[in-house]
Amino acid sequence: MPSDPVELTKQIKAASDIVAVVGSYLTIKPVGPVFKALCPFHNDSRPSLDIDPKRQRYKCWACDAHGDAFSFVQHMEKVNFTEARAILAQRAGIKFDETQSPQDHHKTRLLEAMRWAQAHYQRALLDDPIGEAARKYLGGRKLAGKTVRDFGLGFAPIGGDWLMRFVREERIPAETLVEVGLLFARYENRGHLDRFQDRVMFPIHDVRGQTIGFGGRIMPESILLPRAPKYYNSAETPLFSKKDVLYGLNLARHAGAATGYLAVVEGYTDVMMAHQCGVPQVVATMGTALNARHVSQLRRYVPKVVLVYDADAGGYTGVDRALELFVSQDVELAVATLPEGLDPCDLLVLPDGPETFRKILTSAVDALDFKLNRLLEKDGAASIEGKRRVIDEVLGIIAAAPPMPSQTAQVKQELIITRLSHRLGLRQETVWARLGELQREHKQRQLLEAQKTGATPTPNQTPVRRGGNQGGPTPKADPYYIIGATLVRLLSVEPGLVAKAATEIQPEDFEHTGIRRLLSEMYDAWKVGQVPDLDVLRERLADRSDLFEWLVRQSEVGRQMEEREKKLQGEIAAFRRMKEEATQKLLSAKVSSASEEELVELLRRKMGKPSNQDGDNLANGAA
């Protein structure tokens, strides 16, 4: 078996006949030299999908879906390239174990340990007298037996060596269970103890339903309660990162695809109860606020995310964060508010609860309107001052949001500006102008910040309105963007130049997240001895097929370039000049607004002399 992922991909591709792969999902029939099926990617009424065994490709004549066996599985299963490859490998009987990298091998061991532990916890809850109290507790929470089984709940008894006994009897390596956080080692090699005791165990699954971690809730009457936290999670491992996980996504994703949105709540039992009550499009974060990584997972399945907030105090603290995600991510983000004092679980068990909950979800208000409603309630927009405050608060979030690398940013900004001006009764030009000001201020602050911490100053390349003349450069005109894109073009066709580029220009020098990612992947590949050509980069960008496609287009441009090494040297020189200029410009800007003492210090710096005071006063002055 090849250990090289590119070889492996080729082998799996050769073993996956497109007709057999598509045929395992859809009813197909032969028509002349091809096969035909109803297209699963649009609402097809006559067979529009052609499957061509000779070219090993599919194509829909109506919606233009097309590709090979990998992309078909990617779209059907809503998975990334690596996952699709694993599915096809399994289908073709190509043993992944033998081809796994050491990291993959390690992950497999961790997964096995998780599965093993879950089976024991589950048996304790469902079939063992030891789980009686836990069964009563869950029954008291109104969770049905089916729900408890669907979510794989279990129970970890008290005592300290309940799980450890099975570890000994079944000769399971204790170190693995220490690593996943289910056991801990006692001092001086005095054996191991159970980490979870007297707790209901909620297995945490990845989208494919594999157990990657556990959350444990202590029994309400436990004698351990005074000195143990109420909730507790298993360890962070290569499988499980608490801040990335969405609880219940494996069960909610299909329902989400059907309703067009997924709702995000806070607790495990909220998710379980929603499923039980016939509202399955619900997931939970693991005690952290919704972040960009959550959003990109959810975006695989749905265009819209509904955040569910409690109406009580503190419930709205996440709204600014939500608005920031709305602005910076390609997602519709809406906010739903529960009646005061109720969490989803409380609401769902009421008569008509499920219907009410569903209505609350479907009538969620988008994050911008939600924020505006709250501000206008509080501040009012009667006075000029009031309007100013409202507008600054909303635009401030937009100005500070990380740039979005697509057309979507432009569309979103225009939508926001239109809505703001409408609701506040202001002219759109006024709102655009203020956004431009705030973006410039933000940029200045970032530059100062970067300088203070010694990081490279880079302009923020947040796109601003075309022709508006209010802000900085659009990404295409931004010199950093131009240098970054040229670098990508050159290196993608001339991987041998990566070593030289890596000594001069760092991925972190760029604000553009796509360019950053591409350069990091190229440099990393080169560092581990891979030739960073397109095949290798396709592997590494398995989670970002959009970015890979962009790279392919750039490499086509790169192929037209001549004297590539000389061109690279030119880019490096231009880059050095630009960095130097940015620093000088920043210092000059400071000089014009500095106080007398600051002035002395600034001039000292501008002339390249060492400082005799810390940079704090300087940086705070103009911000």
Using CB under 5 A, list all residues that contact Zn ion.
Answer: 39, 41-42, 60, 62-63, 65
What is the rounded CA–CA span in Å between residue 18 and residue 35? 10
Long-range interactions of 525-531: CB distance < 8 A, separation 24+: 526/495, 526/498, 526/499, 526/502, 531/495
| Residue with smaller CB distance to Zn ion, 19 or 86 | 19
* Shortest CB 172 distance to Zn ion, Å: 49
- DSSP helix/strand/coil, 151: coil
| Residue with smaller CB distance to Zn ion, 41 or 316 | 41
The DSSP element (H or E) to which 66 belongs, if any, is strand 66-67
The pair of structure tokens assigned to 247 is 């609880």
Residue 335: strand pairing partners: 307, 365
What is the rounded CA–CA span in Å between residue 389 and residue 394? 9
What is the rounded CA–CA span in Å between residue 217 and residue 202? 8
* Cβ neighbours, 10 Å, residue 443: 19
- Displacement of CA 618 from its chain's centroid (Å): 36
Q: Contact 81/545 with Cβ under 8 angstroms?
A: yes
* Cβ neighbours, 10 Å, residue 141: 14
* Shortest CB 42 distance to Zn ion, Å: 4
* Shortest CB 87 distance to Zn ion, Å: 21
| Residue with smaller CB distance to Zn ion, 75 or 106 | 75
Residue 410: strand pairing partners: none
| Residue with smaller CB distance to Zn ion, 41 or 166 | 41
| Residue with smaller CB distance to Zn ion, 26 or 204 | 26
Considering only CA atoms, give the Rg of the chain.
Answer: 28
Long-range interactions of 513-517: CB distance < 8 A, separation 24+: 513/402, 513/403, 513/405, 514/405, 514/547, 514/550, 515/481, 515/484, 515/485, 515/487, 515/488, 517/541, 517/544, 517/547
| Residue with smaller CB distance to Zn ion, 57 or 109 | 57
The pair of structure tokens assigned to 14 is 């050769």
| Residue with smaller CB distance to Zn ion, 65 or 124 | 65
Listed residue (478, 461, 467, 527) closest to 498, CA to CA: 527
Strand 282-285 with 261-265, pairing: parallel
* Shortest CB 28 distance to Zn ion, Å: 14
| Residue with smaller CB distance to Zn ion, 64 or 556 | 64
Cβ neighbours for 501, distance < 8 A, ≥ 6 positions apart: 487, 490, 491, 519, 523, 568, 572
| Residue with smaller CB distance to Zn ion, 44 or 414 | 44
DSSP 8-state secondary structure symbol assigned to residue 186 = P
* Shortest CB 40 distance to Zn ion, Å: 8
| Residue with smaller CB distance to Zn ion, 28 or 323 | 28
Listed residue (278, 194, 269, 210) closest to 245, CA to CA: 210
* Shortest CB 49 distance to Zn ion, Å: 6
* Shortest CB 77 distance to Zn ion, Å: 17
Beta strands in 142-260 (DSSP E): 154-156, 183-185, 192-194, 199-205, 211-218, 231-233, 246-247
* Shortest CB 61 distance to Zn ion, Å: 8
Strand 261-265 with 304-309, pairing: parallel
| Residue with smaller CB distance to Zn ion, 50 or 332 | 50
| Residue with smaller CB distance to Zn ion, 62 or 126 | 62
* Shortest CB 60 distance to Zn ion, Å: 3
Phi first, then psi: what are they for 152, rounded to 5°? 70, 25
* Shortest CB 47 distance to Zn ion, Å: 10
* Shortest CB 590 distance to Zn ion, Å: 58
* Shortest CB 72 distance to Zn ion, Å: 12
* Shortest CB 332 distance to Zn ion, Å: 24
- CB-hemisphere CA count at 13 Å for 189? 0
